[in-house]
């Protein structure tokens, strides 16, 4: 298999991960600004979603519609359908022209939510990952980590109506957090764990230190 991640001139792929309310969306712009200041083209995106069709799949996934519960397998396949579309239409072309892609959630979230939270077999997820990503992996993943209860308080304070995932219970999010932490410790070269319970200022200082370090090693 051609390892496209090693092509010269290719951009880099950075993902932000963590449970609900840890501050991914809040800090996405901060990461993008750090990179833009260094003169690279930055593409800011999210999963599930990122293109019009993939965003339509996102709406299906997040809709609480209780009259027809979504099956766990349908959820998993929709997530990878959205991912396939997003990679094909947005992420791969951006990386190929040298842009840096910053994405709010990616496949680590699938292992955490559908694997840890829903209990879907890891091998099934890994099979779909291979099919859809063909070796493409994030170059850097910032895992925003904090205790579940405090993150849930932030979700409550954020005030919007809760989507299908945000309505899950604490044990679901504890399982999600544990999978994220396990993946981070098993792939330390890709992951940086950020203590997300700190003030926003301190979180951003930690993110900046990590990016600076990483940028230094990259350029
Ligand atoms: N470090 C922080 N300290 C306090 N509140 C925060 C911090 N980071 C984010 N928030 C707030 O917490 C809520 C959830 O943040 P958000 O970025 O939406 O989380 P996520 O995208 O990870 O679910 C928002 O209302 C946001 O303003
Ligand atoms: Mg968010």
- Residue closest via CA to ligand 1's atom 15 equals 23
- The residue whose CA is least distant from atom 23 of ligand 1 is 21
The values of phi and psi at residue 97, to 5°, are: -90, 5
105: left (phi over 0), alpha (psi -120 to 50) or beta: left
Q: Which pLDDT belongs to residue 1? A: 43
Using left for φ > 0, alpha for ψ between -120 and 50, and beta otherwise, residue 135 falls in left
Report whether pLDDT(98) > 90. Answer: yes
Q: Is the pLDDT of residue 217 over 90?
A: no
Taking alpha carbons only, the member of 188, 92, 94, 97 closest to residue 141 is 188
CB of 19 sitting under 6 A from ligand 1? no
pLDDT of residue 159: 86
Which ligand 1 atom is nearest residue 199's CA?
1
Work out the pLDDT band at 5, boundaries 50, 70, 90: low
pLDDT at 35: 96
Residue with tokens 């109506």: 161
Quote the tokens at residue 180. 């994220």
Q: Which CATH topology does 17-218 take? A: Rossmann fold (3.40.50)
pLDDT surpassing 80 at residue 6: no
What number does the ligand 1 atom closest to the CA of 200 have?
Answer: 1
- According to the model, what pLDDT value does residue 4 have? 53
Query: Is residue 189's pLDDT more than 70?
Result: yes
**Cβ contact 21:148 at 8 Å:** no
Q: Per residue in 133-176, pLDDT tens?
A: 999 999 999 999 999 999 999 999 998 888 999 888 889 999 99
Above pLDDT 90, what percent of the chain? 87
């Amino acid at each position: 298999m051609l390892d496209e991640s090693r092509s010269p001139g290719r951009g880099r792929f950075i993902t932000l991960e963590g449970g609900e309310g840890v501050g991914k969306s809040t800090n996405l712009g901060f990461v993008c600004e750090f990179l833009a200041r260094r003169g690279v083209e930055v593409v800011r995106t999210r999963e599930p979603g990122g293109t019009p069709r993939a965003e339509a799949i996102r709406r299906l996934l997040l809709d609480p519609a209780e009259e027809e519960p979504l099956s766990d397998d349908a959820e998993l396949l929709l997530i990878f359908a959205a991912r396939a579309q997003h990679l094909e239409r947005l992420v791969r072309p951006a990386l190929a022209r040298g842009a840096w892609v910053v994405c709010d959630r990616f496949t680590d979230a699938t292992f955490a939510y559908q694997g840890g939270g829903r209990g879907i077999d890891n091998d099934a997820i890994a099979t779909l990952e291979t099919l859809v990503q063909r070796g493409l992996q994030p170059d850097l993943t910032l895992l925003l980590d904090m205790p579940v209860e405090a993150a849930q308080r932030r979700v409550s304070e954020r005030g919007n109506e809760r989507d299908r995932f945000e309505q899950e219970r604490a044990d679901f999010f504890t399982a999600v957090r544990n999978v994220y932490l396990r993946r981070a410790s098993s792939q330390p070269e890709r992951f940086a764990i950020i203590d997300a319970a700190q003030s926003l200022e301190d979180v951003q200082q930690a993110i900046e230190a990590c990016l600076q370090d990483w940028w230094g090693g990259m350029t």
